[in-house]
């Protein structure tokens, strides 16, 4: 079984503010799948974050929405092409109002992350080509 795309659905409190945050990171939105209740943030050709207002998000589940500022719901990790790209995206997130996590350097893998305006955790990871944890 293979999957060609991923759509991560995230509840947000203030959609225009969240859109501005992700635009400040350099991402854009697909207008065909965006309206006043949700916005389709294009991360890459096959990765999308659906930013959904909390009332609209609630129509997809009977469960209570977690407050990502006080509890963890998920961590979203994205690959990067270099250590510099990792740090560049985190710096943009912090400049746009996000909160940085600590950097982690394992030699074969470098990561740094942030929490967006709604507290969702985003990790950026650079893997050294050909390196393995046991090399």
Residue 20, pLDDT > 80, answer yes
Residue 130, pLDDT > 60, answer yes
Run of H or E including 49:
strand 47-53
Q: Which CATH architecture has domain 71-135?
A: Roll (3.10)
Whole-number average pLDDT of the chain? 94
Contact between residue 78 and residue 123 where contact means Cβ atoms under 8 Å apart: yes
**pLDDT for position 59:** 96
Residue 71 backbone dihedrals phi, psi, to 5 degrees: -140, 160
Q: Are strands 75-79 and 121-127 parallel, antiparallel or unpaired?
A: parallel
The 8-class DSSP code of residue 80 comes to: -
Nearest to 51 by CA among 20, 15, 75: 15
* Delimiting residues of CATH 3.10.180.10 domain(s) in the chain: 1-61, 71-135
Residue 110, pLDDT > 70, answer yes
Q: In terms of pLDDT, which residue wins out, 84 or 130?
A: 84
**pLDDT for position 72:** 85
Residue 122, C-beta contacts closer than 8 angstroms, at least 6 positions apart:
75, 76, 77, 78, 93, 113, 114, 115, 116
Question: 3-class SS at 90?
Answer: helix
Which is the CATH superfamily of the domain at 1-61?
2,3-Dihydroxybiphenyl 1,2-Dioxygenase, domain 1 (3.10.180.10)
Residue 132, pLDDT > 80, answer no
**pLDDT for position 74:** 87
Helical H runs in 8-112? 15-24, 54-57, 83-95
The predicted model scores a pTM of: 0.88
pLDDT-derived band at 24 (thresholds 50, 70, 90) equals: very high
**pLDDT for position 134:** 63
Length of the chain: 135
In this predicted model, what pLDDT tens digit does every residue of 86-104 receive, in sequence order?
999 999 999 999 999 999 9
């Amino acid at each position: 079984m293979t999957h060609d795309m991923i759509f991560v659905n995230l509840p947000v409190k203030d959609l225009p503010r969240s859109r501005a945050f992700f635009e400040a990171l350099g991402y854009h939105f697909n207008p065909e799948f965006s309206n006043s209740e949700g916005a389709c943030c294009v991360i890459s050709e096959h990765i999308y974050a659906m930013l959904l207002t909390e009332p609209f998000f609630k129509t997809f589940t009977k469960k209570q929405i977690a407050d990502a500022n006080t509890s963890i719901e998920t961590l979203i990790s994205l690959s990067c092409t270099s250590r510099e790209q990792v740090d560049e995206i985190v710096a943009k997130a912090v400049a746009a109002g996000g909160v940085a996590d600590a950097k982690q350097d394992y030699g074969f893998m470098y990561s740094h992350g942030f929490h967006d305006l709604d507290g969702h955790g985003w990790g950026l990871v650079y893997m050294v080509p050909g390196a393995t944890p046991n090399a």
